[in-house]
Structure 1
């Protein structure tokens, strides 16, 4: 059965004027939607309204779509409130855990008007000041129907469509199990690796290379939100951590730790190849070309200009600064068939290529 498509964009009210709520508002307003936005924090609400994330709601507000963008611990209560308060509205939320909120919506007796959603995007900053209207563009946006009507589902699907997202439809329980492995557990693992640095002196930490930076990048996340997520997705997160801990225990207790580690690394190599690559497609075989770049203004731009002149596309880039020398190691990831040619031409242009 085809899903009926609403003829016009719904009047939309956003509850929660933080990074996600304000970003949604800015994006929808830019697309011509009628949007209001509010927050328990009056200053946050005024900020969001002043930056174009929506207008101030009137006392007789009667929206067709309500987007709940509050902290995960409050989402269930606010979703239930919205379903009761606006009996004609479709309600969605953007929390990163879905099953507990779906249960609360069902228990309210109005679950047919609730559709869970989860935009898989964010920033390293929080609050409305960090809001961006294009924050979700080309990112996955998960939709969890949860027994909603076809009309409610079609209305909520208009939201990620307007923000140019890649819509993925999933069951709530399946979503929570998946994000435990692809999002929540990586945060725990990154934080654990970073916390282990606490026994090291500053001189020891200065030995850190790009590998440590890659593994611990998300360890700088704010802890408060993650506490809420862990509580709400407790079962799936613990199951994932048990899996990881079991693998680590196998290495730790093996008679031949080298053999056990080899097995773990090889299994990891197989699975990491399944992570989507560029534009969501299959991962491609890229080769790293690492160039020693003087840490002075204009050098990185000059390097990228020389690469452009060769006609080689840089698929990814990483920059590592030397702690004791005024240079940086700039690693360019390029299609393997062009790596040798790029290395030779950059050498001819007097760039120093680091040993691989």
Structure 2
């Protein structure tokens, strides 16, 4: 998840290295030299091809790495510097690369009978990669476990104790995995069709990272059975924030954002009806800015970015951003991308995909 510390200009240049910088366009080197932060996100280029782009907080694209197909979520390890692009559901690839060294990327495939759900996370020490997966023959969510020290060989799996796992993250101490089980049944034989909208089972699960045992599970109450829990992040106090997408009637206004801590019940944030309408009953991404105690969510449906106070859940700001897509912490507030090619207000001839991750050089810890 995007919780790395902001990086100063000299740290960028040190992380990138001479070989990497020599391969860049002069304009890209200049952009990197004056950057306060760098992010990575999937893109669709003007020619229809897919890639991961590294981009500064000014919206200046530094470099691109080609992808075999469209990506969705991203993961980054501040310990090793590796970044992962996960295929969009029901894709079966994940590509791991180092955005600074230009070393050969590693592409892994989901095991037979599985597909990726577009998200994953590294263990805090960078040794393991966890990926949300679908065991579609048995209609159960899984976490694939991959060894980062052995070219990401698959070494195990855990249940997510739900169906349709989407986003996931890990606690700062590495002991707990947090999974948003969206509750929606899918099968690659039917593409992206949602097969059980009349009997969804959304939930949030805490799972022991060492054993795979269930620590606690929060199933949404019956009146919110069609509120699909989709994305998660963790604030500076360890509180877990989650964001949802509503699969029920469009004229209803269910809660879309909430939080909980271990041992506590779910708490939904009470947003004004006008704000919920602006989000279009659909939150596409969530991010926490720990330094400023902020939570941000975006929605491409009606083009909105919403900022909350992480301490109180109070609504602070609603912005109109057409086709708002990814969100990640920035020096001041959040960096926000759009499907139209805008990144913090700067336009590029690409379509940014749904998620952003902020990247840092190896050894720099999260804050």
Question: Between Structure 1 and Structure 2, which shows a larger proportion of helix residues?
Answer: 1
Higher relative contact order (CA 8 A, sep 6+): 2
| Structure (1 or 2) with the greater strand fraction | 2
TM-score of the two chains, using structure 2 as the length reference? 0.24
Structure of higher CA gyration radius: 1
